[in-house]
Amino acid sequence: MQTVTLNNGVKMPIIGFGVYQIPDADECEHAVYEALMAGYRLIDTAAGYLNEEAVGRAIKRSGLSREELFITTKLWIQDAGYESAKLAFSKSLKKLQLDYLDLYLIHQPFGDYYGAWRAMEELYREGRIKAIGVSNFLPDRLMDLIVHNEIVPAVNQVETHPFYQQIESAAFMKEQGVQHQSWAPFAEGLGNMFSNEVLDAIGKKYSKSVAQVILRWLVQRNIVVIPKSVRKERIIENIDIFDFELSPEDMKLISDLDTGKTHFLSYHDPKFAKMLGTLRVDL
């Protein structure tokens, strides 16, 4: 498995398996198990996904050694804060049936994420987390966090796909030593991504699917990616991207698809910030 090296020396698989929107416990456990059997070693979950326990069962069922795995989960907004973050971390660890996490992320840039970050810095120093990072932080908030804290986030997980390529944000993260990670690499199919003529033509050139072309494009940009599927054949297909390389010409064709706009909700929208900030999840 190809890896990236984080700013603290920890190696992270460049492709992993995401479990967002797999709330059914049995389905989630089965999908994660199939992913582990297919060769994925990075599993990405979150307290807010409400499926950490299913992920934990799949990990145990796999029989793989803990050292082979790279497990990520995330802190939800309602648990942002120093004391609450520590409690939330312990709950997540218990649900996952693990002794430590490889990566712990602040899920959203809202609430008392400064208090949460101080708690995470302590947990990191204690060795209970191998790396700490953030998710959905725009460059201004990321810089603010870096300037006013001791540890620079190892990872920033943000929406990244051919229609929203995060070119400027990617360059900024690279300058700061923060690893770029993509969520929604397929934009959940929005914009007819899977039938896009450019992506389809490139796929046919390499005898690969549109999904494989997108994942390969991200990997060649050195962006960690976490595709999700509950179908065994798609799970296997999505990790089969290391036997071809997109040409510079094809990379340029894909770069021309960028709209520079989110396909979901804007973090500049105060209504969205209020909605997330007041949302309470039964964790």
Per-residue confidence (pLDDT) for residue 283, from 0 to 100: 84
pLDDT at site 1: 87
Residue 283 is assigned to a structural domain of this protein: no
Q: What's the total number of domains in the chain?
A: 1
Model pTM above 0.85:
yes
Q: Does pLDDT of 265 surpass 90? A: no
Task: Tell me what pLDDT residue 262 has.
Answer: 92
* DSSP codes joined into one string, 157-182: EEE-BTTB--HHHHHHHHHHTPEEEE
Q: Tell me, what's the pLDDT at 76?
A: 96
pLDDT of residue 125: 98
Written as six digits, the tokens of 246 are: 């997109």
Tell me whether residue 25 is in a domain: yes
Per-residue pLDDT at 268 exceeds 90: no
Residue 224 CB neighbours (<10 A): 26
Contact (CB, 8 A) for 124 and 131: yes
Whole-number Å distance between alpha carbons of 143 and 155:
13
pLDDT tens string 4-47? 999 999 999 999 999 999 989 999 999 999 999 999 999 999 99
Active centre residues (catalytic):
49
Q: Does residue 230 lie in a domain region?
A: yes
How does pLDDT run across 206-247, given as a tens digit for each residue? Answer: 999 999 999 999 999 999 999 999 999 999 999 999 999 999
In tens, the pLDDT along 167-218 reads: 999 999 999 999 999 999 999 998 899 999 999 999 999 999 999 999 999 9
Q: Has residue 92 been placed in a domain? A: yes
High-pLDDT (> 90) share of the chain, %: 92
CA–CA gap between residue 173 and residue 1 (Å, rounded):
23
Query: What gap in Å lies between CA 53 and CA 41, rounded to an integer?
Result: 18
**Which residue segment(s) compose the domain that 176 sits in?**
3-278
Q: Locate tokens 């929406």: which residue?
A: 159
Question: Which pLDDT score, from 0 to 100, does residue 24 have?
Answer: 94
Residue 257 pLDDT: 98
pLDDT at 281: 85
The rounded mean pLDDT for the chain is 97
pLDDT of amino acid 278: 86
C-alpha–C-alpha distance, residues 28 and 22, integer Å: 6
Determine what percent of the chain is predicted with pLDDT higher than 70. Answer: 100
Look up the CATH number of the domain holding residue 121: 3.20.20.100
Q: Please say whether the beta carbons of 50 and 281 come within 8 A.
A: yes
Residue 195 belongs to a domain: yes
**Is 215 within the bounds of a domain?**
yes
